[in-house]
A and B are shown apart, each in its own frame.
Chain A
Amino acid sequence: MPVMAVPAGGVVADVVLAGAGGIRAPAEVFQRIFLVFLALGTLVGTVVITYTLYNAYKYRYREDVDPAPDAERPQMGELPEGGGKGKKLFLSFGLSAVIVLSLVAWTYGALVMVEEGPSQSAGQEELESLNVQVEGYQFGWDYIYPNGHKTSTLRVPVDRVVNVSVTSRDVFHNFGIPELRVKTDAIPGQTNDAWFIAEETGTYQANCYELCGQGHSYMQTDVVVMSQSEFDEWYSNTNGTESGTNSTQSPTGTESESGDHSEAIAR
Chain B
Amino acid sequence: MSHGQDHGHDFPPMSSVKRWFVTTNHKDIGILYLITSIFVMLLAGALALVMRAELFSPGLDFLSSASGYNQAVSAHGLLMVFWFISPFAFGFANYIVPLQIGAKDLAFPRLNAMSYWAYLFSILLFVISFFQGGTFAGGWTMYAPLNIPTYMPNVGGTSVVLALIMFVAAVTMGSVNFLTTIYRMRAPGLRMRDLPMFSMSIFLTVWMMLFAFAALLAALMILGAQHLVGVNYFNVDGGSLLWTHLFWFFGHPEVYIVFFPALGVMAETFQTFTGRRIVGRKWFVLAMVLVALQSFIVWMHHMFLTGINLQIKTLFMVTTIGISLPFDLMVFSLIYTMIKGRIRYTTPFLFSLGALILFILGGITGVFLGAVVLDYEFRGTYWVVAHFHYVMFAGGTALVGGLYYWFPKMTGRMYNEFLGKLHFAVYFVGFNLLYFPMFSAWETPRRVFVFDTSMAFWHKIATVGAFMLGFSFFIMFYNLFKSMASGEEVGENPWEYATTAEWATESPPPLENFTGIADYRGGKLSFLSESEANAAASGTATDGGTATDGGTPPAEASTATGSGTATGGALATAEQALATRTVESEPEHADHASYWPLVVCFAGFLAFLGLSGIQQGGIYYGFAGAGGLLSAIGFVGMAQESFHAPEPTIAEQWPFANVPNMKLGMWFFLSSDVVLFGGFIGSYLFLRVANGWMFWEHELIPEAHVTFPGLVNTYLLLASSFAVVLALVAAHKNSSRGIVASLSATWLLGVGFLINKGIEWQHLFHIHTDAFPNGWNLATNVASSTFYLTTGLHAAHVIVGLIMLLYMIPRAMRGAYTGEDEASLEYFGLYWHFVDIVWLFLFPLFYIL
A residues lining the B interface (CB < 8 Å): 3, 5-8, 26, 29-30, 33-34, 37, 41, 44-45, 48-49, 51-53, 55-56, 59-62, 66-68, 71-86, 88-89, 92-93, 96-97, 100-101, 103-104, 107-108, 110-112, 114-115, 170-172, 174, 176, 178, 181, 183-185, 187-192, 207-218, 260-263, 265-267
Contacts and interface: CB of A to CB of B under 8 A. Distances in A.
B279 A82 contact: yes
Nearest to A77: B525
A217 B66 contact: yes
A33 B546 contact: no
A249 B376 CA distance: 34
Interface stretch (B122-130, B258-266, B445-453): B445-453
A78 B522 CA distance: 10
Contacts of A48: 331, 335, 360
Interface string B273-316: 01111111111100000000000000000000111111001100
A202 to B, nearest CB: 15
Contacts of B546: 79
Interface of B: 65-67, 69-70, 73-74, 137-139, 143-146, 151, 189-190, 194-197, 236-241, 271-272, 274-284, 305-310, 313-314, 317-318, 321-322, 324-325, 328-329, 331-333, 335-345, 353, 356-357, 360-361, 364-365, 367-368, 370-374, 376-377, 379-381, 439-443, 445-450, 452, 454, 493, 497-499, 501, 503-504, 520, 523-526, 546, 690-692, 695
B524 A209 contact: no
Nearest to A85: B280
Given A59-B274, A60-B343, A80-B197, A172 B145 contact: yes
Contact of A78 (B328, B372, B524): B524
Contact of A172 (B144, B190, B321, B501): B144
Given A48-B360, A60-B343, A75-B524, A8 B440 contact: yes
B377 A72 contact: no
A85 B276 CA distance: 13
Contacts of B151: 170-171, 213
22 contacts: A8-B440, A52-B353, A56-B343, A60-B343, A60-B344, A60-B345, A62-B342, A74-B275, A77-B504, A78-B499, A80-B196, A80-B499, A85-B280, A92-B328, A93-B329, A103-B321, A111-B313, A178-B443, A215-B66, A216-B70, A265-B238, A267-B237
Contacts of B321: 100-101, 103-104
A55 B353 CA distance: 11
Contacts of B306: 185, 187, 192, 263
A209 B371 contact: no
B65 A61 contact: no
Contacts of A55: 335, 338-339
Given A61-B342, A213-B146, A83 B237 contact: no
Contacts of B452: 3, 5
Contact of A59 (B143, B341, B691): B341
Name the residue among B144, B333, B546 with the largest chain A CB count within 10 angstroms. B333
Nearest to B271: A74
Could you say which of A5, A171, A176 has the most chain B C-beta atoms within 10 Å of its C-beta?
A171
Contacts of A73: 275-276, 342, 497
B656 to A, nearest CB: 21
Contacts of B520: 79
A34 B374 contact: yes
B533 to A, nearest CB: 17
Given A74-B497, A93-B329, A100-B321, A41 B364 contact: yes
A96 B194 contact: no
Contacts of B345: 60
Given A67-B342, A211-B446, A44 B317 contact: no
A260 B441 CA distance: 29
Contacts of B692: 267
B569 to A, nearest CB: 31
A219 B318 CA distance: 34
Contacts of A115: 310, 313
Given A74-B272, A172-B143, A260 B310 contact: yes
Contacts of A212: 146
B332 A89 contact: yes
A187 B307 contact: yes
Given A30-B374, A82-B280, A82-B281, A211 B338 contact: no
A265 B690 contact: yes
Given A56-B338, A76-B499, A79-B194, A110 B307 contact: no
Contacts of B356: 52
Contacts of B337: 83
